Amino acid sequence: MIEYGYIENGYLISKILEPETENYRDEETGYIKSKTISIKEQIERLGSLWKPVAPINENNRICEEGYIIRLVPYDAGDHIDYEYSKVLDLQKIKKDIVKQKEFLSDTDYQITKCNEAFMLGNPLPYDLSTIHQKRQAARAKINELETILNQS
């Protein structure tokens, strides 16, 4: 198995080549026969635009938390290779923001119940100080993450 490809408008167009079996009708006998098309024959059919594609190096895809490795294919002359560029994991940041906002929504009920109890002169059903601290921390985290998003 080998991968061949070419770059078109910055995108890698590739094909995995492996021996293929092709059925055909024998003109003399009329029977269906099969033949194997080798990888070498397939490469010859591809044309000059196609080049071997270097395998992805999984060791180069390892990075710290909050980042991902973006693979950018480029034409290295006799083959197609990859540039491994480290970028912020924007999807993770967006998910973290949603998670913090869900926490705020989930604790709205506790705040409402504390307000009602206070207005009625009843004891508070939840520790309002702790809830407030956690909610402030969530808001601060949201602001921090949104700043990171806006700077990227």
- Which residues contact residue 20 at a Cβ distance below 8 angstroms, ignoring those fewer than 6 apart? 36, 37, 42
pLDDT at 143 over 90: yes
CA distance linking residue 55 with residue 63, whole number of Å: 19
**What are 36's strand-pairing partners?**
21
pLDDT at 24 over 90: no
**100 with 80, same domain?**
no
**17 with 39, same domain?**
yes
CA distance linking residue 70 with residue 133, whole number of Å: 38
Which of 43, 59, 88 is the endpoint of a domain? Answer: 88
Taking CA atoms, 14 is separated from 39, 71, 94, 122, in Å, by 14, 14, 32, 70
The per-residue pLDDT for range 50-99, each reduced to its tens digit, is: 999 999 999 999 999 889 999 999 999 999 999 999 999 999 999 999 99
What is the count of structural domains for the chain?
2
Q: What is the pTM of this model?
A: 0.65
How much is the pLDDT for 66? 87
For the residues 90-110, what does the mean pLDDT come to?
A: 96
pLDDT at 8 over 90: yes
**112 with 133, same domain?**
yes
- The domain containing residue 77 runs over which residues? 2-88
**102 with 36, same domain?**
no
The per-residue pLDDT for range 36-48, each reduced to its tens digit, is: 999 999 999 998 8
**108 with 60, same domain?**
no
The per-residue pLDDT for range 128-139, each reduced to its tens digit, is: 999 999 999 999
How much is the pLDDT for 47? 87
**83 with 17, same domain?**
yes
Which of 88, 113, 138 is the endpoint of a domain? Answer: 88
Which of 88, 113, 129 is the endpoint of a domain? Answer: 88
